[in-house]
A = this chain, B = another copy of it.
Amino acid sequence: MPTNKIGHSFSPDSGAVVGIVGLGYVGLPTAIGFHASEFEVWGCDKSLKVIDALKSGLNPVGDHELDSTIPPYGTAGWNLSNSVEKIAPLCDVILVTVPTPITSDLKPDLSHILDAGDKIFSSIDKAKHTTIVLESTVYPGVTNQVWRPLIQRYGLEEGVNVDIAYCPERFNPGDTEHTVRKVARVIGCNNKEIGEGLVEFYKNLTEEDVRFVGKIEVAEAAKVIENVQRDINIALVNELARILPAMDVDVEDVLSAAATKWNFHRYTPGVGVGGHCIPVDPYYMIQRAADVGVPAGLITAARAVNRSMPSHVAGVVTDLMWNAGVPAGEAKVLLLGWSYKAEVGDPRETPAEPLAATLIGKNISVGAWDPHIDSAMYPEGVIPVDDFSEAAGYDMVILVTAHKACLEIDWMGLLDNMRTPIVYDGRRVLDLEVLQSMGWKTYAVGRPANGN
């Protein structure tokens, strides 16, 4: 008889052991959180570099909020390993927080989920019950499609020695308010009893609402549409950032005016969206809609707008340099910020990359300065600027990321070093009047070129 722990294995008091597979932006704070709630925790990452860093008390991910919270190695209940097969049989609940990127042809790449699943299902202890929870973003249907066949393959029995569930992560990089301990969570599970057990389980992690929402696909779809909705709302302000300046109207004036209405949602246009969620998740839904033969025209249109913002901006800034008399073939542009989001050191899917690539394709030399980004992370062709004070000879500065450090540079000093004093605010965060009074020629996304 297997020791069926259903219903009593979800609290630290009952000795439940938690495994976290994938110690990245999501997994690491989750592991730390459950450990802080007095669970026995096994943190697992296939990268030995990550495990070694953590054993030395160093934070291998960019989120420095975590630095002081990493338990010293050797602390009771804080275990680390790079072997999934080793930790899986020791755990009662295993959370999988591996990446789900998109492939170069914009299809969801599920290989990490399949790989983690393969290792977990093949090695859990059949003599007891293990709950395996996917937190990675996927399209509706993935958890059951990818993991369910593994249950049978490895001689397990759902509801007896294994159950699977889905609880989407809601990590918001750079956001110190909505941390893993302060966000509401939703749980989908084929087994209602386990789903409700997981509600109690996650209440150890977060002080906000935790809700069982029914079957796995509901929770999967919820995660995707959260990001689809953001993508669409950002796409709208980006589309307006193209339309309104052509009518000699500044999109920001209009958005601020509209935002006085009680039910308006304020979003800000920019050079493009980036990161591991918004530019990625909508493709999951588009792909899945195509599979079931239903049009996803709106979601697709939003993607088209946001995805084309970098090349749109590249076109605008090229014209500005041309009009300012910069000779073709000699133009030099400095990107301020490379990361996809302010105060985050993460270049994934950053719009800076297609922006730089488009400019380089026009024979424009592109330098980049971002104090949150390691110089080695820039793609080929982009010239890293390490010492900002030596940035010189540029024809244009483009504010790409609203890092505090980028806003607070020595604008007067940079002005002296420019060949042509053009600044383009790609995030609508600069005080252009002040810059103009210094002598900068100021432009911004969504603003008429005449500065109206």
Contacts and interface: CB of A to CB of B under 8 A. Distances in A.
A290 to B, nearest CB: 10
Contact of A221 (B183, B254, B294, B305): B254
B301 A222 contact: no
Tell me the number of copies of this protein: 2
B294 A302 contact: no
Contacts of A230: 263
Interface stretch (A61-69, A72-80, A189-197, A243-251): A243-251
B232 A285 contact: no
A239 B298 contact: yes
Residue picked from A233, A262, A264, most chain B C-beta under 10 Å: A262
B294 A298 contact: no
Say what secondary structure dominates the interface of chain A. Answer: helix
B232 A184 contact: no
Interface string A203-237: 00000010101110111011101101110110110
21 contacts: A140-B244, A170-B261, A178-B262, A184-B260, A209-B260, A211-B260, A213-B256, A218-B249, A221-B244, A221-B247, A225-B254, A226-B261, A229-B258, A239-B295, A242-B294, A243-B288, A246-B294, A297-B301, A298-B302, A300-B301, A301-B301
Interface of A: 140-141, 170, 178, 183-186, 209, 211, 213-215, 217-219, 221-223, 225-226, 228-230, 232-233, 235-236, 239-240, 242-244, 246-250, 253-258, 260-265, 285, 288-289, 292-302, 304-305, 452
